[in-house]
Amino acid sequence: MCGAPAQELSLEGIDVGKESVVQGTVTKGGSPLPGAYVRLLDATGEFTAEVVTSATGNFRFFAAPGEWTLRTLAPGASVDTSVTAVQGEAVNATVEVPS
């Protein structure tokens, strides 16, 4: 069993004003994709963190403000998505993995 916290998109209990939140949902064929790996890469492409999507396809990172790449890995697919983390905001990304 993984020690990572549950990957839900509710911001209840999180002081977003003090955080830069990058979160979202991974889908395949329009349905949530559980068990995909989402990596957080910095502006130079350096690996920073990784989470596994929840049963509902959700993921979340707390990142420093700036430019980031979400690299989503699922069987037979790899998708890169650019995001900009801003302190005081929750950036929501939807990543569609090709069928």
Which domain covers residue 73, as residue numbers? Answer: 19-97
Residue 45 included in any domain: yes
Domains contained in the chain, number: 1
> Are the CB atoms for 72 and 79 separated by under 8 Å?
yes
Residue 7 included in any domain: no
First to last CA, the chain: 28
Burial of residue 53 (number of CB atoms within 10 Å: 0-12, 13-18, 19+): buried
* pLDDT single digits (tens) 56-90: 999 999 999 999 999 999 999 999 999 999 998 88
CATH code of the domain covering residue 49: 2.60.40.10
Model pTM?
0.84
Residue 26 included in any domain: yes
What average pLDDT score do residues 31-54 get?
A: 97
